[in-house]
């Protein structure tokens, strides 16, 4: 199985916390209390740790900021269309999906994965084309959440949204200008929250496959939110509704 590199303190700490068995080895530059504690934790978990100079870490990381620590690990692989079907065949009324249509920025994808993990999401669904995948930068932004929440990469997003509906999942899309508040939407039961990418939002076909289109009320002077922030607002609105 292909190995990848986790770069940065948060990414390696998250990996060590949630999937230590996946870490093969780590390199670090001793610098400060936090890296020292991380080194001790890695060694305690049985991970082979090597000291490395800044220049060596720079070469390994390329353009990604490493903060003096890099870990080689065997990543959890994203699921595919078949995996989505398996999940749908076993869901209940507590199922919660986050569907991202065309998110391009790895930092945004990583932040969405982290929020999804915190919200107890069943799976995050993204299209294979015209969207960022689970890159090292996305994993770093996820800070270990990529090993905790299921990511499913599908061939045809519209078809996957139809499959969600066929299994009783209510699809709520976030789009500006609808005049319908997120906080008045149906957010209980099996649910998929659908958000678009950073530039154009949801594509036409994606919008057409939503049961309900809503927006986040913003009485202030800002007209839009970053997709990862919007995902957080929507997910925890659903969490709040479902715990009443």
Tens digit of pLDDT at every position of the chain (244 positions)? 678 888 888 889 888 988 899 899 999 998 888 999 999 999 999 999 999 999 999 999 888 788 999 999 988 889 999 999 999 999 999 999 999 999 999 999 999 999 999 999 999 999 999 888 888 778 778 877 888 899 999 999 999 999 999 999 999 999 988 989 999 999 999 999 999 988 778 999 999 999 999 999 988 877 778 999 999 999 999 999 988 7
SS3 244: coil
Q: How distant is the alpha carbon of residue 176 from its chain centre?
A: 22
Counting Cβ atoms within 10 Å, is residue 235 exposed (0-12), middle (13-18) or buried (19+)? buried
CATH of domain 4-73: 3.30.1330.30
pTM score: 0.82
Strand 69-73 to 23-28 pairing: antiparallel
* Residue in the structure block whose two tokens are 């319908």: 180
Q: What is the DSSP letter of 133?
A: -
Give φ, ψ of 58 to 5 degrees.
Answer: -60, -40
Return d(Cα 34, Cα 86) in angstroms, integer.
41
Domain boundaries, the chain: 4-73, 81-242
3-state DSSP percent of the chain in helix, strand and coil, to 5? 40, 20, 40
* Alpha-carbon gap, residue 113 to 134, rounded angstroms: 10
CATH of 81-242 given 3.40.1280.10, 3.60.15.10, 3.30.420.40, 3.40.50.1100: 3.40.1280.10
4-73 and 81-242 have identical folds:
no
**How many CA atoms does the CB half-sphere of 108 hold within 13 Å?**
21
Nearest to 193 by CA among 91, 130, 101, 78: 101
């Amino acid at each position: 199985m292909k190995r990848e590199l986790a770069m940065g303190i948060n990414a390696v700490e998250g990996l060590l916390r949630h999937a230590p068995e996946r870490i093969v080895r780590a390199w670090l530059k001793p610098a400060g209390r936090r890296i020292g504690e991380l080194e001790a934790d890695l060694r305690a978990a049985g991970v082979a740790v090597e000291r490395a100079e800044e220049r060596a870490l720079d070469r390994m990381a390329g353009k990604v900021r490493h903060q003096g620590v890099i870990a080689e690990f065997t990543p959890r692989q994203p699921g595919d269309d078949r995996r989505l079907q398996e999940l749908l065949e076993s869901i209940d009324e507590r199922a919660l999906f986050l569907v991202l249509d065309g998110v391009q920025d790895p930092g945004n994808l990583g932040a969405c994965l982290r929020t999804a993990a915190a919200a107890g999401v069943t799976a995050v669904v993204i299209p294979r084309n015209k969207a960022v995948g689970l890159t090292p930068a996305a994993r770093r932004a996820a800070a270990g959440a990529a090993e905790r929440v299921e990511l499913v990469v599908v061939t045809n997003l519209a078809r996957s949204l139809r499959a969600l509906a066929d299994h009783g999942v209510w699809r709520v899309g976030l789009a500006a200008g609808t005049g319908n508040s997120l906080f008045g939407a149906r957010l209980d039961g099996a649910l998929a929250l659908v958000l678009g990418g950073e530039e154009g939002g949801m594509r036409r076909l994606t919008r057409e496959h939503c049961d309900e289109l809503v927006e986040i009320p913003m009485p202030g002077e800002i007209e839009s939110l970053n997709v990862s922030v919007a995902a957080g607002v929507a997910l925890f609105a659903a969490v709040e509704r479902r715990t009443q």
